[in-house]
Amino acid sequence: MVPGDPVEVMLGESARPADREALRMALGLDQPILSQLWSYLKGLLHFDLGYSLHSKQPIADLLLQRLPATLELTGAALLIAVVIALPLGVMAALYKGKAQDDAAMLFSLVGISIPNFWLGPMLILLFSLGLGWAPVSGRDAPGALILPAITLGTALAAILARMIRSTLLEVLHEDYIRTAQAKGLSRHAVIWRHALGNAWLPIITLLGLQLGALLGGAVITETIFDWPGLGSLLVESIQKRDYPVVQGCVLLISIAYVVVNTLTDLIYGWVDPRIRLGKI
């Protein structure tokens, strides 16, 4: 139903009609849509994603080749987000209404507002073309991971900082916090051991949801930096009208999203034993 024909992309517009029909029959594209869907579903039951229309390679092999790069980028972006957001959120909560709080929330507002497709090229212009500190694109050069990870992790850092601030503000006035202060515990111990220890559940929820969003955001970031991951494979396959590969990419990203959220639920019980015992 969408414009574009994979056969035309493969053979070119000048190909003879007979050649087009022969290739369409060889690829099974002459079958009714429901028949093609049924064949695809039967393949899934046997963990067979089919073959690429363009390269003729098994789609599972293509996904396995690109998956490590996406996991590397997503993990680095998540690490950068946590490293930035944790001190910012704690500082904003401790200095509520003061200059530190305003500065942290300003960063959060800017981080949420700037889209990846603008931030990525700006980082390339400044740090790659201007200063020469990082490569423009690719994965092989030293430091190639830095700019894509910053591009992908900035928005998550901004959202996470706001969540950490709000959850800390909720628990800082609880009785157990006052008790810990009355016992003479240091401010560092009160914040990092007692306050954050009881504020992790909503933060973990946000991390689980945003990790799935990172996989989706990686499509844009990988395209900008020519990062050889699932996102760039998805865009390349759309351009080539290689629909089976597009289906495989979307399916894998969807499964990853579900798995991450399931793991998030399991982590709840480890972080808060009351959940494991069914007391809340």
- The yes-or-no verdict on residue 164 having pLDDT over 60 is yes
Among 13-22, 74-83, 251-260, the minimum mean pLDDT is found in: 13-22
89 or 196: which leads in pLDDT: 89
Q: Which residues contact 149 (CB under 8 A, 6 or more apart)?
A: 73, 76, 77, 79, 80
Note the helical H segments in 95-145. Answer: 99-113, 116-123
Average pLDDT of the residues in 234-245: 85
Q: Which residues contact 246 (CB under 8 A, 6 or more apart)?
A: 234, 237, 238
Angle between helical axes of 230-239 and 200-225 (0-180°, round to 10): 50
Angle between helical axes of 59-94 and 99-113 (0-180°, round to 10): 160
Class of domain 65-276: mainly alpha
C-alpha 35/C-alpha 226 separation (Å) is: 36
160, 209 Cβ separation under 8 angstroms: no
Confidence of residue 278 (pLDDT cuts 50, 70, 90): low
Average pLDDT of the residues in 193-199: 71
**Can you give the pLDDT at residue 159?**
85
**How much is the pTM?**
0.77
251 or 50: which leads in pLDDT: 251
- The yes-or-no verdict on residue 215 having pLDDT over 80 is no
**Can you give the pLDDT at residue 209?**
75
In terms of Cα–Cα distance, which of 163, 72, 67, 70 is closest to 112? 163
Among 9-18, 79-88, 179-188, 248-257, the minimum mean pLDDT is found in: 9-18
241 CB-side CA count, 13 A? 14
- The yes-or-no verdict on residue 257 having pLDDT over 70 is yes
**Can you give the pLDDT at residue 226?**
85
Average pLDDT of the residues in 215-220: 74
60-114 tens-digit pLDDT: 899 999 888 888 888 888 888 888 888 888 888 888 888 888 888 888 888 888 8
- The yes-or-no verdict on residue 274 having pLDDT over 70 is no
